[in-house]
């Protein structure tokens, strides 16, 4: 049995690492494009700039700008927003990819992100501008939660109570911050959980795994 810490380490040709790298690169490329960043400091984008370059915006999506459901996943408001999302994605994403495989993992990530965006468009008012990989990241969290449930809390490195506490804290943190798109978070979480139910098949080799 592999050591628990190895589950969080990237494998060769890891899709998760590619996603993380592209998201980080996108942030800095966009930062170079924006001539007037917040206070002239190299750490964030203005709302107008994000809106013009693919942010999630309900009127735009309703008028046929469907690309926003994908592009918003690669945009972040500032360096802290980017760092928080990528840290969680790096840890949980590597573990989920280990159990699902790279293509199933990529499917859950992007479909969760798109469905999270749709949830935001349906729920939020017309003037809401949203960016960030949070919806897709919550999809990864939801998918991992199902794997823990499916394995009766005996997944190496994860337990039922630990996963439940993590989910509850993540949801609470979102509602405690008025600047967070909670509709996208909840939609992403549910989407990831349901997609994992459809995709994940517990291998026979994992049936006897104990923590």
For 126-144, what is each residue's pLDDT tens digit? 788 899 999 999 999 999 9
pLDDT at 189: 94
157 belongs to a structural domain: yes
User: Looking at the chain, how many residues does it have?
Assistant: 211
152 belongs to a structural domain: yes
pLDDT at 117: 95
pLDDT at 132: 92
The 10 Å Cβ neighbour count of residue 88 is 18
For 69-91, what is each residue's pLDDT tens digit? 999 999 998 888 899 899 999 98
Domain extent for 40: 14-202
In sequence order, what are the residues at sequence separation of 6 or more whose Cβ sits closer than 8 angstroms to the Cβ of residue 58?
120, 121, 124, 125, 126, 128
6 belongs to a structural domain: no
In degrees rounded to 5, what are phi and psi of residue 152? 55, 40
pLDDT at 7: 54
CATH number, residue 45: 1.20.1540.10
Parts of the chain with a pLDDT under 70: 1-12, 34-44, 125, 172-179, 203-211
Residues labelled catalytic = 134, 185
pLDDT at 178: 61
210 belongs to a structural domain: no
Q: How many domains does the chain have?
A: 1
106 belongs to a structural domain: yes
7 belongs to a structural domain: no
Closest CA to 105 of 195, 22, 23, 26: 195
pTM for the model stands at 0.84
């Amino acid at each position: 049995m592999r050591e628990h810490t190895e589950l969080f380490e990237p494998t060769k040709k890891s899709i998760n690492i590619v996603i993380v790298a592209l998201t980080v690169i996108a942030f800095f490329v966009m930062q170079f494009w924006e001539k007037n960043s917040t206070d002239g400091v190299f750490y964030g984008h203005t709302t107008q700039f994000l809106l013009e370059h693919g942010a999630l915006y309900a009127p735009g999506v309703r008028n046929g700008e469907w690309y926003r459901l994908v592009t918003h996943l690669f945009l972040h408001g500032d360096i802290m927003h980017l760092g928080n999302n990528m840290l969680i994605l790096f840890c949980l994403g590597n573990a989920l990819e280990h159990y699902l495989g790279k293509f199933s993992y990529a499917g859950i990530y992007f479909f969760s992100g798109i469905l999270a965006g749709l949830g935001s468009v349906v729920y939020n008012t017309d003037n809401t501008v949203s960016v960030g990989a949070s919806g897709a990241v919550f999809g990864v969290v939801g998918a991992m939660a199902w794997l823990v449930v499916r394995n009766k809390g005996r997944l190496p490195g994860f337990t039922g109570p630990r996963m439940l506490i993590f989910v509850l804290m993540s949801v609470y943190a979102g509602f405690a911050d008025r600047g967070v798109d909670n509709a996208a978070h909840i939609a992403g979480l549910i989407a990831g959980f349901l997609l994992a139910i459809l995709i994940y098949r517990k291998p026979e080799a994992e049936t006897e795994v104990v923590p």
